[in-house]
Amino acid sequence: MKQFFTRLFWFVLERFEKGDGPYSYKSSSRTILLVVGLLFSGLSAGSLYFSIAKGDFSAFLPIIVFLAVGGVCLIVGLLGSDRAVATLWGTTSKSNRKKK
């Protein structure tokens, strides 16, 4: 099942799993990432509920942004490698990052 979802969300995971240099990973980073993903997804769901209940549909931009951030955090936290989590936290070596 994990392989199916990994293939389904390859476009998110490939961005964070690139590189071959050193990185710093802690298991607490993945846990915090999952908690942040749940919080943003809950914030999006709550905003959607109150937007529908009030009948004001002008809050869809924050709902989409919160859902996107929460989704990326949950996808990387649940399906990503240790390198992907470290890349999202910014703890990979500078030689691995793209230069602008």
Q: Is 88 a domain residue?
A: yes
Following DSSP, what letter does each residue of the chain receive, concatenated?
A: -HHHHHHHTHHHHHHHS---S-B---HHHHHHHHHHHHHHHHHHHHHHHHHHHHT-GGGHHHHHHHHHHHHHHHHHHHH--HHHHHHHHT-B-GGGSPP-
Q: Is 19 a domain residue?
A: no
Q: Is 63 a domain residue?
A: yes
Q: Is 59 a domain residue?
A: yes
Q: Is 13 a domain residue?
A: no
Mean pLDDT for the chain overall:
86
Work out the average pLDDT over 51-59.
86
The 10s digit of each residue's pLDDT in 11-20 is 888 888 887 7
Q: Is 1 a domain residue?
A: no
Number of structural domains in the chain: 1
pTM here is 0.81
Q: Is 60 a domain residue?
A: yes
The 10s digit of each residue's pLDDT in 61-75 is 899 999 999 999 999
Cβ-based neighbours of 88, under 8 Å, separated by 6 or more: 16, 33, 72, 73, 76, 80
Domain that holds residue 31: 27-93
Q: How far apart are CA 86 and CA 88, in angstroms?
A: 5
Q: Is 67 a domain residue?
A: yes
